[in-house]
Each structure stands twice: as C-alpha cells, then as structure tokens.
Amino acid sequence: MSPTELLGTLHRRGILLVPSGDGRLRYRPRRALSEADCDVLARNRVAILALFESDPVGWRAAVMANQVRWAIAILLPIARPGLRFEPGSCCSCGEPRNGRRLLCPPCVVATVRVLGTVPTAGAPA
C-alpha cells in the first residue's frame, strides 16, 4: 500500500491524521488504530510527512473542511485539532506565524479556501 493509499484508507475509516509539526504523526480518535496499523504508519512515517509537506495548504484545508461541515458558524477552523501549541505560534497548527497575528501563512490560505466554500445565509444560490 502506498502512503497515498494509506491516507485514503485512514480517511475512509474516519481517522484524522495530521503532521504534529515535530516530525511525528498524530491521529484521532486515539483508539482507532490497531498495533498493525501503527506499525504501517511508523514504517511509512517519512513518506507520509513528505506528502503533507508537499501540500501544506491542502492538508490543512481538508481537516478544516470537515469542521466547517459540522459547524457552519465556526470562526477559526483548526488544522491540528486537539494539540496544544506554544504561546506565540499559529493558533491553528502550532507552527511559526512569521509575523502574522494569529495564523501562519498556510493556515491563512487554507482558512480562506475552506470558508469560501461555506454558503452564506440569505445569499442567492
């Protein structure tokens, strides 16, 4: 199974997998993966991290899009839900903000992309 196929399989099983920002992978729910699944992830970790790194906006937008579906009024979608971030880091993914107020540049682009897909109440279809 290629890393791309593995990500698709996890997604279909409802497992959220994100790069933690420190070279590890994080997934939710915590008990969703068997020991065998964890072994496959560990063996493919570098390739999976490279996939995420090759599309920093895409993986953030995919995670945020799921949040927008269940909470139309959400103000700030989160790229790495459930993780704690250092003060001063991007409040969506925890990476350096590069002078931005709240979000790093990829999270700004991903947020605009995702929120642009939300229908506006009262707007013509």
Q: Which of residues 101-120 bind Zn ion (CB under 5 A)?
A: 104, 107
What is d(CA 122, CA 115) in angstroms, rounded to the nearest whole number?
16
Q: Which of residues 12-71 bind Zn ion (CB under 5 A)?
A: none
Residue 92 binds Zn ion (CB under 5 A): yes
Residue 90 binds Zn ion (CB under 5 A): yes
Q: Which stretch binds Zn ion (CB under 5 A): 6-14, 28-36, 83-91, 113-121?
A: 83-91
21, 80 Cβ separation under 8 angstroms? yes
What is d(CA 40, CA 65) in angstroms, rounded to the nearest whole number?
26
**Which contacts (CB < 8 Å, 24+ apart) does range 82-89 have?**
82/26, 82/28, 83/20, 83/26
Using the minimum distance from each CB to Zn ion, give the nearer residue, 40 or 114. 114
Binding site residues, Zn ion, CB under 5 A:
90, 92-93, 104, 107
